[in-house]
Structures are given as structure tokens and as C-alpha cells.
Amino acid sequence: MKDLVSRCPIEEVMQVLSGRWPTLLIYYLKDGTKRFADLRRDNPTVSHRMLTLELRKLETAGIVQRTAFEGYPLRVEYDLTPAGLALVPLIDAISDWWEQNEPARARASGVAEVPAPQVAS
Amino acid sequence: MKDLVSRCPIEEVMQVLSGRWPTLLIYYLKDGTKRFADLRRDNPTVSHRMLTLELRKLETAGIVQRTAFEGYPLRVEYDLTPAGLALVPLIDAISDWWEQNEPARARASGVAEVPAPQVAS
DNA sequence: GCGTGGTGACAAAAAAGTGCGTAATTTACA
DNA sequence: TGTAAATTACGCACTTTTTTGTCACCACGC
């Protein structure tokens, strides 16, 4: 993560969406407003440090809206922004693609044949 | 990357597509058959070790087709599989989404206001 | 002795987990 | 009634784990 800016947009998006959590968090937030503790309950394997870091990243990327309320006990709400909502069907599409291509994966992880053993010209 | 299998498909795809190289490699391969050295020339910053590792990953994921020819000098060709080709427009869509949401990002990285300072009930 | 497409060992760097502290209020319990 | 403890959403320092880079080496042919 040297520089946030790169030549092509794909590199930039992937800096945000790469990793286990970003897409998962987007999925959980798809259901509506969530609080920090809610998201931890949704996915118990994420550490609180990671969760804050990832949420901040999604926030600065304009995907997640963070709303902090004054007073104790603390209360912070997370929502998808309109941009974040627009991203959901795109992630869905990739998810569907993955499921549809399961047979292709099965084939690919199978035999590794040498298809055209060529003779030197 | 503990186990390759997880509950939901998104987690699985992201294990393959996460990182700088997977999507970039798919983009370069979109133009047609490429050899190992071609891909290194396309992106000089990837180390040869990373390139082999990433290509293997994409291969076992059924995205890339590897074709090795007998004889010296060695010759190995890489292509997108039909599944890989089907993935291209989906990545494109996310790339477009990213570009369209640049203004939203600009806003998000701006001020962080406290919207509703609530009084205790 | 360079190019080709790798593999493996080791080192550096990056990412992620762990545990502690913080604030004010609520609740738990003796 | 008093006090200890839990809750909430983190920040910070430290350690562990994972990822990535570097270098050397292989195979052969020109």
C-alpha cells in the first residue's frame, strides 16, 4: 500500500476490496445499520483492531458511512453509502460467477497435461 | 489462507482475486495469449516468483490456462479460460463503479462531523 | 554466458492478532 | 447503599503470522 493512486482504477479498487473483510463487511451492512459490536458478532473471527481499520478504510473509500453519537455508553453506527449500495450487486455478480464456474475449477485442479508436444522447428 | 473452502462464495473468490496482481494479470491476458516473459514486461514491478505463484493460483482457480511446450528454449503460454473471459466484464464493472464514485470518495475523506449530538433520555 | 520458465531457501516487510487502557453510565449483588 | 464489574468503541504498543522479495540454481540451446 505504497501510494493510494495508481495508473489504472482496478489497482485502486483492489487496494480497498482486497482481503477477507471488506466484501464481507459490505455484505453484513447490506442488511442495514449496524453497530461495531454487531459486526463483531456477525463475524467473530475478526479482531477489533482489524474491524476498526477495515471500517476506516471503507469509510475513506466512500463505501461506508460512520455516524458517531455523543454520550455514554458510546454509540457508533455504520451504514453503506449510496456508492456502497451500488457496489453490492457487482460483488454479487462475481460471487455468482464463482459458483457457476465451480466445474471449471474442478477441471483445472485436475490433470496437468502437455497438450501439444512440439518438435523444434 | 488457512482453508480454501469457506461458508460463502465471496470469501472464496476474494482469496483468489485479492492482492495487486490477480486482476492486473487478468487484464493483460484479456488481450490474448501471453508468455511468462511478456507478462513480466507488461508489469516490471512483479517479481518472477510472485508471477509464477499468482499464475498458479489463477490456474487452479480455473481462470487461466497454462500451456507448456516441450523443447528448449522453454515455452509456456498463458490464456484466459472461458471462465476467465467471463470474469473480465465483471471486473470492468467494478472498475467503472470506482471511477464513477470518485466524488463520493472525495467527500468521505473530508470533514468528519458529529451529526446528532444526542442528549441523554 | 544469456534467455527461458521455473523451484527452493532464506530474509525483509507487511499484515494481523493480543492485551491494556480509557471514558461515563448502567447493572449486579451483597 | 455502596462498590465492583460490565458495556461501548476504540487507540496504542507489542508479538506473531503471513506475504513478498532476493538470490541462487536448474535445464538446455545458441
- Please check whether residue B19 lies inside any domain of the structure: yes
Distance A98 CA to C22 C1' (A): 45
CA distance A66 to B41: 42
Domain count along chain B: 1
Per-residue HEC secondary structure of B54-82 comes to HHHHHHHCCCEEEEEECCCCCEEEEEECH
Domain of B71, in residue numbers: 9-98
Residue count of chain B: 121
- A28 pLDDT band, cuts 50/70/90, is very high
- Please check whether residue A14 lies inside any domain of the structure: no
- Please check whether residue A28 lies inside any domain of the structure: yes
How far A46 CA sits from the closest chain B CA (Å)?
13
Q: Amino acid identity of A89? A: P
Region of poorest pLDDT, from A19-23, A26-30, B28-32, B100-104: B100-104
Question: Along the 121 residues of chain B, how does pLDDT read in single tens digits?
Answer: 444 556 789 999 999 999 999 999 999 999 999 999 999 999 999 999 999 999 999 999 999 999 999 988 999 999 999 999 999 999 999 999 999 998 888 888 765 444 444 433 3
Q: Residue A57 belongs to a domain with what CATH number? A: 1.10.10.10
Nearest by CB to residue A18, choosing from B18, B67, B94, is B18
Residues of A in contact with B11 (CB under 8 A): 20, 23-24
How far A77 CA sits from the closest chain B CA (Å)?
11
- Give pLDDT, residue B5: 57
- A108 pLDDT band, cuts 50/70/90, is confident
- Give pLDDT, residue A71: 85
- Give pLDDT, residue B53: 97
Determine the 3-state secondary structure of A120 from DSSP.
coil
- Give pLDDT, residue A116: 41
Within 7 A of a protein CB, which nucleotides of strand D? 7-13, 18-23, 27-30
State yes or no: cis peptide before B73, omega within 30 of 0.
Answer: yes
- Give pLDDT, residue A103: 85
- Give pLDDT, residue A7: 72
First to last CA, chain A: 46
> Which of A4, A10, A99 would best serve as a mutation to test chain B binding (most B beta carbons within 10 A)?
A10
- Please check whether residue A36 lies inside any domain of the structure: yes
CA B53 from centroid of its chain's CA atoms: 13
- Please check whether residue B29 lies inside any domain of the structure: yes
- Give pLDDT, residue A112: 43
- Give pLDDT, residue B26: 97
- Please check whether residue A29 lies inside any domain of the structure: yes
Q: Do A10 and B19 touch (CB under 8 A)?
A: no
How far A109 CA sits from the closest chain B CA (Å)?
5
- Please check whether residue A9 lies inside any domain of the structure: no
- Please check whether residue B1 lies inside any domain of the structure: no
Residue pair A69/A76 in contact by the 8 Å Cβ criterion = yes
